[in-house]
């Protein structure tokens, strides 16, 4: 992966990390494509949320309640597509997640297009 792409992919994923932790709508809006979507199971319930719904959730309930540690585990890129893995420990106080993001480069700008996650 070229350094410019690595740096930009890391920046975009960090926008998610910081935006979800702080409940910052502007950071989340910048990170995600307009058509982005989230999919997951939590406690045997399937969740699917669009971008506006996810931003509303994070603004109303920021993930960092005092002990959140998030880490970018990996970013893999092929051309204009990439996958990033992030771990969150202590999200909403006591929840640990593994997040999988798909990113696409649109007209030179990387955006997250989907997130699938697992409650560990």
Question: At which residue do the structure tokens 């502007």 appear?
Answer: 26
Q: What is the CATH number of the domain that holds 29?
A: 3.10.450.50
Burial of 51-79, coded b for 16+ CB within 10 Å and e otherwise, reads beebbebbeeebbbeeebebebeebebee
Query: How do residues 3-25 score in pLDDT, each as one tens digit?
Result: 679 999 999 999 999 999 999 99
Dist CA 22 CA 109 (whole Å): 24
Domain count of the chain? 1
Contacts of 86 (CB under 8 A, 6+ apart): 13, 16, 17, 70, 71, 72, 73, 98, 99, 101
Owning domain of residue 17:
3-119
Query: How do residues 53-89 score in pLDDT, each as one tens digit?
Result: 999 999 999 999 999 999 999 999 999 999 999 999 9
């Amino acid at each position: 992966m070229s350094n410019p792409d690595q740096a930009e992919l890391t920046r975009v994923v960090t926008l998610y990390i910081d935006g979800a932790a702080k409940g910052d709508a502007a950071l989340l809006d910048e990170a995600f494509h307009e058509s982005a979507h989230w999919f997951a199971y939590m406690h045997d319930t399937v969740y699917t949320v669009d971008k506006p719904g996810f931003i509303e959730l994070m603004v109303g309930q920021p993930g960092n309640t005092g002990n959140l540690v998030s880490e970018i585990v990996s970013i893999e890129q092929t051309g204009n597509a990439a996958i990033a893995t992030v771990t969150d420990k202590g999200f909403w106080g006591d929840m640990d997640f593994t997040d999988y993001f798909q990113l696409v480069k649109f007209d030179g700008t990387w955006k997250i297009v989907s997130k699938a996650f697992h409650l560990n």
